[in-house]
Amino acid sequence: MKSVPQISLEEAVALVKDGDILLQGGFGMTGNPVHLMHALAETGTKDLTFIGNNVGEAGIGGGKLLRNGQIKKMIGSFFTSNPEAVKAAQDGQVEYELLPQGTLAEAIRAGGAGIGGFYTPTSAGTELAKGRETKVIQGKEQVYVEGIRGNVAFVRAWKADMAGNLSYRMTEQNFNRAMATAADIVIAEVEEIVPVGEIAPEHVHTPGSYVNYLVQATLTTEDLGSSASVSSSRKVSETRMNMAKRALQELKKGDVVNLGIGIPTLVADLITPEDGIVMHTENGMLGVGPSPKDGGGAMDYPVNAGKIPVTALPGSSYFDSADSFAMIRGKHVDIAVMGGLEVDEQANLANWAVPGQPLLGVGGAMDLASGAKTLIITMTHTNKDGSAKVVPTCALPLTALKAVDMIITDLAVFRFIDGQLTLTELMPGATLEEVRAKTTAKFKEALTAK
């Protein structure tokens, strides 16, 4: 049986050279090899190309390397979780490339599997497709993305044996599993190293053939950043809750459902185990339950895509980000409920960026919008200045083309019926005249009696 060397943090980070491409596992600070990142921040290694879902948090994980000026370029899906990464990009201090979260995960999996690249419908027709080759496959426009490999990968697992077999805890698989396949040197930071045989074969998530070195490092609450605990104080307006309640009416027993941040998150608070709805979170979990009642954090609980600790309902399962987005693109998620900035008459969605600002945080929005069987958008009917959000043509950067099935606002419910935007309901307190006055898109009226 192979024996993988156990080395110190100092020995591990010495394997990273100036100009290397560094893959870093983790989703936020969950499953993040934070001790390896902090040890690397103590070195003079520079000009790194950093690849990860996000660049840690301010001063934590990859955020330390960024603060030190050790990162030349960052490639990821959601830089906006670190304000210092946003500022560095805006000021031109660091180069960056933004990829949809599922595309990033699949590119890493492809690189690890020796596949040169792949076509995906995610991002077709959007700003992120510009400059990329596209092709119509099975009647759908798809975007070509090259596989990703690195010189060194830092991953975090909960347990390893001396043969390098890795086992992950809860939602800590995320990007770690794919990244452990996609670098010349793979260094696994682990909580515990056990003798060969103590991890049952069926509990090995990453086989030891991928792993070159092991480093033992104990996780603390401080290493988890914003996921360290749950805050229970949240005030919700009646208007927002009404939209969440209306969205809940669309969910049926047995549906696999993904909820975006903002108003959609409120739907989760309304779902009970008796509803039989299976909640999906794109960082690798089916069967998401409510927030922990004891205020506990990611040391004891899984986290959702908002990096908030949640509970696991009976029958839950964990998997990695690549499998999660394969689930989404493969139409195994029945309904996605997402927020919106604009929806137009052609069922196009804009919900992730505004003109004139760097494109720094798309996350899983594009994958979900184009991949879920049904897409429901919840949003206020107008912007703060009174301008319409249900419009003839989206002016904001697009998230997905012809993807929206239903819109729920504080004033109205619209459906796309036979391709036509159709008003089907008024929300509590709203009038038809008000909806007409505040909607610039053309729509058919087919109000149902209540």
- CA torsion sign, 401 to 361 to 19 to 72? positive
Model confidence at 232: pLDDT above 70: no
Q: How much is the average pLDDT of 97-125? A: 97
The catalytically annotated residue of 106, 172, 189, 282 is: 282
pLDDT digits (tens, 9 = 90+) for 236-245: 789 999 999 9
Q: How much is the average pLDDT of 321-333? A: 97
CA distance 271 to 250: 12
CA distance 173 to 167: 9
Q: Which residues of 213-226 are buried (b: 16+ CB within 10 A; e: fewer)?
A: bbbbbebeeebbbb
- CA torsion sign, 114 to 139 to 325 to 202? negative
Residue 442: Cβ within 10 Å count? 9
pLDDT reported for residue 444: 96
CA distance 44 to 42: 7
9, 217 in Cβ contact below 8 A? yes
pLDDT reported for residue 294: 87
Q: How confident is the model at residue 222 (pLDDT cuts 50, 70, 90)?
A: confident
pLDDT digits (tens, 9 = 90+) for 416-442: 999 999 999 999 999 999 999 999 999
CA distance 31 to 175: 8
pLDDT reported for residue 152: 98
* The 3-state secondary structure of the chain, one letter per residue: CCCCCECCHHHHHCCCCCCCEEEECCECCECCCHHHHHHHHCCCCCCEEEECCCCCECCECHHHHHHHCCEEEEEECEHHHCHHHHHHHHCCCCEEEECCHHHHHHHHHHHHCCCCEEEECCCCCCHHHCCCCEEEECCEEEEEEECCCEEEEEEEEEEEECCCCEECCHHHCCCHHHHCCCEEEEEEEEEEEECCCCCCHHHCCECHHHCCEEEECCCCHHHHHHHCCCCCCCCCCHHHHHHHHHHHCCCCCCCEEEECCCHHHHHHHHCCHHHCCEEEECCCEEEECCCCCCCCCCCCCCECCCCCECCEEEEEEECCHHHHHHHHHCCCCCEEEEECCEEECCCCEECCCCCCCCCCECCCHHHHHHHCCEEEEECCCECCCCCECEECCCCCCCCECCCCCEEECCCEEEEEECCEEEEEEECCCCCHHHHHHCCCCCCEECCCCC
Phi and psi at residue 27, to the nearest 5°:
-130, 105
pLDDT reported for residue 177: 98
Q: How much is the average pLDDT of 26-41? A: 96
Give the HSE-up count for residue 366: Cα atoms under 13 Å, Cβ half-sphere: 29
pLDDT digits (tens, 9 = 90+) for 262-318: 889 888 888 888 899 999 999 999 999 888 888 888 899 999 998 889 999 999 999
pLDDT reported for residue 448: 75
pLDDT reported for residue 191: 97
pLDDT reported for residue 59: 93
pLDDT digits (tens, 9 = 90+) for 375-427: 999 999 999 999 999 999 999 999 999 999 999 999 999 999 999 999 999 99
Q: Tell me if residue 282 is catalytic.
A: yes
Phi and psi at residue 84, to the nearest 5°:
-70, -30
Structure tokens at 11: 């020995």
Query: Between 443 and 359, where is the model more confident?
Result: 443
pLDDT reported for residue 202: 97
Q: How confident is the model at residue 231 (pLDDT cuts 50, 70, 90)?
A: low
Average predicted confidence (pLDDT) for the chain: 94
pLDDT reported for residue 4: 97
Model confidence at 233: pLDDT above 90: no
Q: How is the beta sheet containing 335-339 ordered, strand by strand?
A: 312-318, 285-288, 278-281, 256-259, 335-339, 374-378, 406-408, 412-417, 420-426, 444-445
Q: How much is the average pLDDT of 121-129? A: 96
